Structure 1
């Protein structure tokens, strides 16, 4: 999988933020030796895919196999024998990657590039997918045969809105999904559909569908990768064959029989369920985070005021922080399991909102002259008990306000998780949402304990 960044101000945003040059098989774009599919019901699809891999020149290690057996979900890549760290698993020629540059309408997409520009940058790739999906003779047909069923994708964007809000309210996922859906609809109706209608000879009515477009967005979000930047020209060897391949190597030893995964990167559970449709069970995700919306800290500060004058002072300080780009109406302070990922922003915000009026005037004046702050504004989790009492009080009140945004409390979720029989009766979506909520609440409750 791709490894999207997680750091700093990770509040709900659109997945449509960067182009992904080519979709790829979820876990296993590797051919098997002839006859090794084991006569499984899906053997024909696997065999066809493997023949395609050999035909396009995909190089693979004989130490891996492709199967549904021994995998977490669907088709997967499994080690046939132990693999050492650093060993090549496969190398894919760039010509085999499905991208706007390799599809059968590449020339048209290039000529119309100006008209296909969008916020996401994904329109040319998605149009390439839409065209190749309906083309019976598409070179990528064997690859499509191993795709998951598009109608059974578990991303929250496909959940009914009521279910999404009921299960994920407070986690940041409903807001992120709503932004996605707005952007997808806008992109589809303003750019994609007009383009397909203008070239109706290339796009059959079967692919002119917002529902299908949304499904392909989710698939690209979960099953694509961003091609790495090339090295500096002076570091390349002339005519090096490696320049024409993308290589996958093992980053750690892999035991025989184990499934092989690409990393999802440092991602919180809310990001995993948003982008991939699943969450890691607590406490496995050491990269989990909880967000405190920046405006929530402002609201907590306003709650602590005694009169209109004090309210105006808080608003003045908030406006100052906005101009300093420390806070924003849609931003969030991100708290991890062991660290505050937005430590500078949170420390500065607590300091400015809590400092005496005269001290704020001096602070604001120094900032106006562009003077640099010399003090250390770092804020690690272990530093929270050492904060000034006013800072801790504001932080605590902000956490309490954040916890009120969830539909359940920590004990309710804890009881469900600790009762195996009750947990087993939950649907897949209910289980995944529970893991997301619980992980976030555990982080927030730890902050509460540290502010006592």
Structure 2
């Protein structure tokens, strides 16, 4: 089920705000043949952030909200340098796969006569994006330590920098007549990556339909892209495209916000796979036991159940990596002779027994050794955070919470949601 996107709401009737960008955009929509339902309005008022789409009157499930001719979609295929990007496709290959699209955006952004200028007028201010990649490193680490976000951001920044200097900048310099100096900027490239990362589609167009609960894209007639309502939308409500099932750490990483506890039913907490290995090592007493433990770990790697950078993912109501965690606990806890036999038979892959279950409700029924290893792993994971659960609960009190900055509030929701899941596991393993 899609999660409810929560952000600060701008109160006011639909159709308000600065009319100039909206009027220009709607005029452009008519010129390019974009079909917009009379039941909806593009507005800055009544939306959670920036420009959005608001229901003028109630909308029923299945009703068309808008239809966009494919020729009006901004992509590497429809931009002014589409032919060049296609010819150079081989040289523009990258890990992200987004370089051609990002170059298309860079070119169109600087072009005074770009067909998409009215669309760009509705974009958020790129310099004010709230993704953690734009936070100072010290603030990011202080507020999000233990959540996994700082590590994910560091990888993003390293990849963006490498991609920019090895592919994007050389391409723009080789075609300096097509790219002005003002768009040859790592910072601008990073901002566009954040925008594309947040909206992850090969075609970037209808950002005005903010992501959140509600309608979703359906691919129809080949000449247009249509958005229809998947549930009734009351009059005055903002219309959203779904984020999908995402934990709070993913929401803040990709979009710059988190949902307040306990609204995000898809929230998760990670236990790093190497943390379980570390917890198991704590129980070894002699070198022979440690060597055997590493042999077990190597075998789990061979079975592709664990990895040095992997994580076991725990939800509020389920273990999302049930097979991997169950197999890991089994292998690390089984007697030495049983492990030898298990290894000789390459893992008894079809021998899944009821006691191996790792649903949340079945955790108290696990073997004592399994529960102890899982508990020790949770305790080690909780130590990676800078504060404990009680401190977070105190910060969430209404008086204190209101004094926190936007970033502090969002980071707190991420930490608190994860810790609640981990403390639930502690109770189940006690």
TM value normalised by structure 2:
0.91
Partner of 1:426: 404
List per-residue Cα deviations over 1:154-193 (Å, max 9, x = no partner): 0000000000000001000000000000000000000000
Listed as ranges, the matches of 1:293-308 within 5 Å are: 293-308=272-287
CA contact (8 A) 1:37 1:46 kept: no
State whether residues 37 and 47 of structure 1, in contact with CA within 8 Å, keep that contact through their aligned partners in structure 2. Answer: no
Mapping for residues 272-421 of structure 1, pairs under 5 Å: 272-367=251-346, 372-376=350-354, 377-418=356-397, 420-421=398-399
Provide the residue aligned with 2:58 in structure 1: 82
Structure 2 unaligned regions, length at least 5? 4-13, 204-218
Q: Structure 1, residues 272-302: CA drift from partner, whole Å, max 9, x if none? A: 0000000000000000000000000000000
Correspondence 1:200 to 2:176: yes
Q: How does 1:209-288 map to 2 (within 5 A)?
A: 209-226=185-202, 242-288=221-267
How far the C-alpha of 1:373 sits from its partner, in A, is: 2.6
- In the other structure, the counterpart of 2:125 is 149
Structure number with the bigger relative contact order (C-alpha 8 A, sep ≥ 6) is: 1
Give 1:69 shift: 1.2
String of CA shifts for 1:125-157, please: whole Å, max 9, x gaps.
000000000000000000000000000000000
- Equivalence for 1:22: none
Residue in structure 1 matching 2:86, options 107, 110, 115: 110
CA separation of 1:427 and 1:380: change in aligned 2, threshold 3 A: same
C-alpha separation in 2, matches of 1:439 and 1:94: 41
1:78 Cα deviation (Å)? Answer: 0.7
Kindly indicate whether residue 22 of structure 2 is the aligned counterpart of residue 43 of structure 1.
no
- 2:45 aligned partner: 69
Matched, 1:447 2:390: no
Q: Distance in 1 between matches of 2:141 and 2:352?
A: 44
What root-mean-square deviation, in Å, do the aligned CA atoms of Structure 1 and Structure 2 show? 1.6
- Give the count of matched residue pairs: 403
Structure 1 residues 58, 263: CA separation in 2 closer, same or farther (over 3 Å shift)? same
Separation (CA, whole Å) in 1 of partners of 2:112 and 2:427: 61
Runs of 4 or more off by more than 4 Å in structure 1?
A: none
Q: 2:168 aligns to what SS in structure 1?
A: helix
Superposed, 1:86-101 pairs within 5 Å as 86-101=62-77
Shift of the 371–445 alpha-carbon distance from structure 1 to 2, 3 Å rule, reads closer
| Structure 2 residue matching 1:319: 3-state secondary structure | helix
Deviation per CA, 1:242-288, whole angstroms, max 9, x where unpaired?
Answer: 11111111111110011111110000000000000000000000000
